[in-house]
Each structure stands twice: as C-alpha cells, then as structure tokens.
Amino acid sequence: MQAQPTQGTAQERAATFEATTGGGNMQSGEMLLIEAYALIWMLLMGYIFLVWRKQKSLHARLDDLEKAIDRAADKKSA
C-alpha cells in the first residue's frame, strides 16, 4: 500500500510558506528574459562580424593568389 499525501486546506498550505528576508536586488523575470535575449543577440552579432571579417581576409588572400598564378603563367608563356 502506498501512503497517500495528505491534502490540507488552503489555509494550512498557506501557513507553510515563508517569504525570504534580507537584502538583495530583486529583478523581474521579464527584465531578466530581455537581458538574456539582448546578450544572445549581441554575441550572435559579434560572431557574425568576426566571420565576415575572416571571410573578407580570405577573399583578399584568394585574389592575391590568383594574381600570383596569372603572373607565373604569363612568365612561363613568354
């Protein structure tokens, strides 16, 4: 047999709740959610910026390599 949890009245259940005391800054859940989304978006934008900068660097390097290949091909045919 399993023991059934006892169900008290609403007044008895309310009596067991103890509010926290003391200092500390309390923030609303909505504000924390907005801050979390803002942080995620900032991190995402930072990552996209770094990838864009790396892509730009790789594109410039590829252009330099293509020019070097063209110069080498011109020297060989001349």
Helices (H), 16-78: 29-77
Residue 62 has pLDDT above 90, yes or no: yes
pLDDT of residue 63: 96
Amino acid at 4: Q
CA pair distance 46, 53, nearest whole angstrom: 11
Q: Which tokens is 37 given?
A: 């989304």
Residue spans of the domains in the chain: they are 50-78
The pLDDT tens digits for 1-58 are 555 555 666 666 566 666 666 666 777 889 999 999 999 999 999 999 999 999 999 9
**Phi, psi torsion values for 23, nearest 5 degrees:** -80, -160
